[in-house]
Chains A and B, each alone.
Chain A
Amino acid sequence: MTDSSKTLVVVDYGSGNLRSVWQAAVHAAADTPWQVTLSNDPAILRAANRIILPGQGAMADCMRELRASGLLEPVLQAAQSKPLFGVCVGMQMLLEHSEEGDTPSLGLIPGRVRRFALEGRLQPDGSRYKIPQMGWNRVHRSAAHPNHPMWQGIADGSWFYFVHSYYAQPDRPEHCAGYTEYGEPFASAIVRDNLFATQFHPEKSADQGIALYRNFLRWQP
């Protein structure tokens, strides 16, 4: 395809936050040749140059909806061949298994999704850890990917917006692109070849989030 017809498709399988993701991606793509589309059409997904896989709510529901929508196959095909950005549960689905509802997931990145085990523990300021982690936390670049192109222009330790009770635990350190402290450090951004995914919500993370989506449009994995 030429530069004048690049398409970014946000996968519409019924996830709650897809409209926010789509709007933020449209904003990020302003003044670029990219066309941003929200679509549940497998043919449009197959033709897309890049894919964003959103996800919100329970993992089992997201997996079921993705299958029921007929979009699982084009998403897996995209994961083999083109840049794919997973968000929140859309990130968690990339791993092999989630403790949430004991749910097998896509298995594209070795590792599991676990629930925060912070009950009864206190934060450094003496208040108790709350689950979900809800709010803004810092994302640090991982030792494996200090200069990943997705981090371009985004300072180490930048703030992003999180809402989650489960977190990804990739088996291999090279699949961690960024980490965040909540009780323990956990992988808040993961990466493998043409796959990049975040536990936090770029679409709700103000300028830094838009910058990350903009980097995704430029990324050449």
Chain B
Amino acid sequence: MLAKRIIPCLDVTGGRVVKGVNFVELRDAGDPVEIAARYNEQGADELTFLDITATSDGRDLILPIIEAVASQVFIPLTVGGGVRTVADVRRLLNAGADKTSFNSAAIANPQVISEASDKYGSQCIVVAIDAKRRSAEAQQQPDASGQPRGPGWNVFSHGGRKDTGLDAVQWAREMAQRGAGELLLTSMDRDGTKAGFDLELTRTISDAVGIPVIASGGVGTLEHLAEGVTQGGADAVLAASIFHFGTYTVQQAKEYMASRGIPVRL
């Protein structure tokens, strides 16, 4: 049967892989090819590169990184961060990416997901959704039919700074209908907390769409990774810091998941 995937996420800026704590004090984490090769040897099922470069000037610097990694490491590579247009998809695929992840640009222009997926196939179009539980105040705001929206999650854009007012479940469905091949779902409430995934969010979205869902945000322990699958219903789990800082290896994570009866590639 299909294995549940473990996906380490690497932050990239200025042409280097970096690691930081809560986006401050970024430190050079080493050579991208070496890091990618190490994760590959540990059994990572895919790698996600997140371009955290703030300006478009530095953005193209990720292309040589992807080229270098893709020539040496033969597992799927996803690139996210600043992907805006169908032309961006082409450039990243040409550099050796297998998937590209849209976020804010899909919110500004949902049609770009339809166009990119028509042109290059849904298998290479990931939509990243940053979701945050609605506050008591936000629950009182009226929906399209004039009723209070009630509990749920709103989609945020621009790195989590802007509340779009979109309902995360409806947004996930629309993205799937428009041809997204996969959703990368991050709980903003949990991101960086090490308190575990928002399992209710993960389960709700996973049950709402027929495409794979990658859970992200909040992993602090191996148990959290397993819960994302067993309780959250995720098809894959993404984590950054527990792997970067050497808390656990991917291999240890997989062995733990296997011990919990989760099918993984060992």
Contacts and interface: CB of A to CB of B under 8 A. Distances in A.
A19 B90 CA distance: 12
A41 B212 CA distance: 38
Interface in A160-180: 161-164
Contacts of B98: 17, 20, 204
B74 A203 contact: yes
B200 to A, nearest CB: 16
Contacts of B96: 19-20, 23
Contact of B212 (A20, A130, A161): A130
Contact of A136 (B2, B70, B211): B2
Interface string A8-21: 00000000110110
Contact of A16 (B2, B71, B120, B265): B120
B165 interface: no
A131 B124 CA distance: 14
B124 A132 contact: no
A3 B123 CA distance: 39
A123 interface: yes
Interface stretch (A45-53, A64-72, A105-113, A205-213): A205-213
Q: Please report whether the interface of chain B is mostly helix, strand, loop or mixed according to DSSP.
A: loop
Given A132-B122, A159-B3, A19 B94 contact: yes
B163 to A, nearest CB: 29
Contacts of B261: 125
A119 interface: yes
B181 A128 contact: no
Interface residues on A, range: 35 or more
A136 B265 contact: yes
Nearest to A138: B1
B138 interface: no
A27 B230 CA distance: 37
B236 A127 contact: no
A56 interface: yes
Going nearest first, the 6 A-B pairs with the smallest beta carbon separation are A57-B121, A159-B265, A163-B123, A136-B265, A136-B3, A130-B212
Interface of A: 16-17, 19-20, 23-24, 27, 56-58, 119, 123-125, 127-128, 130-138, 159, 161-164, 181-182, 203-206, 209-210
Given A56-B121, A130-B235, A131-B210, 8 more contacts: A19-B94, A20-B70, A23-B96, A24-B74, A123-B1, A138-B1, A159-B3, A204-B75
11 contacts: A16-B120, A27-B72, A57-B120, A123-B1, A127-B235, A131-B211, A134-B235, A135-B5, A136-B3, A182-B1, A182-B2
